[in-house]
Amino acid sequence: RNCSEIATERKVNKIKKQTVASSVYFLKYLISVRIAKMAEGLDGESFDVVVVGTGLTESVLAAALSLSGKTVLHLDKEEYYGQNEATFTLDDFLVWAEKHKSEEIGDEEYKVTQVDELNEDISLHARRFNIDLSARLVLCRGKTVEALIDSGVHRYVSFHSVDDALALYGNSSTQQVLRVPCSKAEVFKSKTLTMVEKRQLMKFLRFCMDRATRLKAGGDKDAVLWRNENGLDQGRSLPRPQNKEVKTLYDGEESLDDLSFAEFVEKNCKMSPRLLSLLSYTIALLRDENELESESAANVMEKIQTYLNGLGRFGNTAFLYPLYGVAELVQAFCRLSAVHGGLYVLREKVDSVVTDTEGKEKICKGVRLSSGSVVNANWVVGNGLTDSTQVSELKECRLVCIVNAPLATICSESDNAKSILK
Indicate whether this model's pTM tops 0.85.
Answer: no
What counts of helices (H) and strands (E) characterise the chain? Answer: 15, 13
Q: Is the dihedral of CA 120, 125, 126, 129 positive or negative?
A: negative
SS3 of residue 353 by DSSP: strand
CA-nearest of 276, 248, 239 to 260 is 276
Confidence of residue 354 (pLDDT cuts 50, 70, 90): confident
Please report which helix (H) or strand (E) contains residue 226, including its range. none
Task: Give pLDDT, residue 38.
Answer: 56
> Tens digit of pLDDT for each residue in 114-169?
777 777 777 777 778 888 988 888 999 888 899 899 888 988 899 988 888 887 77
SS3 of residue 35 by DSSP: helix
CA-nearest of 383, 398, 334, 333 to 144 is 333
Pairing outcome for strands 72-76 and 343-346: parallel
DSSP 85: G
Pairing outcome for strands 374-382 and 46-52: parallel
Average pLDDT over residues 406-417: 56
φ, ψ of residue 199 in degrees (nearest 5): -65, -40
Average pLDDT over residues 34-40: 52
> Tens digit of pLDDT for each residue in 188-224?
888 878 898 888 888 888 888 878 777 777 766 666 6
> Tens digit of pLDDT for each residue in 251-286?
555 577 788 888 888 888 888 888 888 888 888 888
> Tens digit of pLDDT for each residue in 326-346?
999 999 999 999 999 899 988
Give the DSSP per-residue string, 151-169.
Answer: HTGGGG--EEE----EEEE
